[in-house]
Amino acid sequence: EADIYQTPRYLVIGTGKKITLECSQTMGHDKMYWYQQDPGMELHLIHYSYGVNSTEKGDLSSESTVSRIRTEHFPLTLESARPSHTSQYLCASTWTGGRTEAFFGQGTRLTVV
Amino acid sequence: GESVGLHLPTLSVQEGDNSIINCAYSNSASDYFIWYKQESGKGPQFIIDIRSNMDKRQGQRVTVLLNKTVKHLSLQIAATQPGDSAVYFCAENGAGGTSYGKLTFGQGTILTVHP
């Protein structure tokens, strides 16, 4: 079982609130990723990081922001949540070299009302 | 919220049949490909991978085929079981340039196995 954890698993929050979705991994992986996925739909890369102090935007434009101050931690923040942000958010991590399969967390299902 | 992207194609098979799931990838510079299985309410789980210097790789009941000429990847599942019912995604790892380090997922396929 992969050692990557996301909290919370489920979050229902009002419009305009600031939220942070947590993602931590204990495998020492340098690359981390955030994906957005609606039910029954594709995974879209919204942010990724090569390592500490490195962040890049993914293929899908997102109003969220990320930070990577520590190797093991890659939080995602929405400054002002809107109903259009309702979705599932999946965090993943990989090594840089060799076999680079990504390990995924269980996801955070966010509902903005 | 607004749905992002396309609804997924579906494949229905009988238990015991072989299943073939296809995927087209976009970046000819990608050097590593992975198949993932995602069950309802869970994150994707690794099934099998293949590097771009190979065209076939076999695992337990699964085989991945890579055709770089047409940028096509397939996953074959032998003797499909009800527990194989899930959504299957292929992913490509960018090799260089602006794609370096990006793990990008292709369109998934919903596999339903009937007993």
Which among A44, A86, A104 is the nearest to B44, CB-wise? A104
CA B79/CA B60 separation, integer angstroms: 11
Nearest to A85 among B1, B5, B44 (CB): B1
The whole-number pLDDT of residue B100 equals 59
Q: Which of B7, B87, B101 sits opposite A50 (nearest CB)?
A: B101
- For residue B3, give the chain A residue with the closest CA: A38
Between B62 and B99, residue with greater pLDDT: B62
- pLDDT > 70? residue B37: yes
pLDDT tens, residue by residue, A25-42:
999 999 999 999 988 788
How many CB atoms are closer than 10 A to CB B89? 24
CB contact under 8 A, B5 and A36: no
Percent of chain B with pLDDT over 90: 63
Which of the four pLDDT bands, split at 50, 70 and 90, describes residue B4? very low
The number of C-beta contacts closer than 8 angstroms across A and B is 87
Helix (H, G, I), strand (E, B) or coil at B68: coil
Report whether pLDDT(B1) > 50: no
pLDDT tens, A64-106? 999 999 999 999 999 999 999 999 999 999 877 645 678 999 9
Q: Token pair of A40, please? A: 């029954």
Q: Which residue, A113, A100, A108, is CA-closest to A32?
A: A100
**Phi first, then psi: what are they for A4, rounded to 5°?**
-135, 130
Interval B47-90: pLDDT, tens? 999 999 999 999 999 999 999 999 999 999 999 999 999 999 99
d(CA B62, CA B87): 15
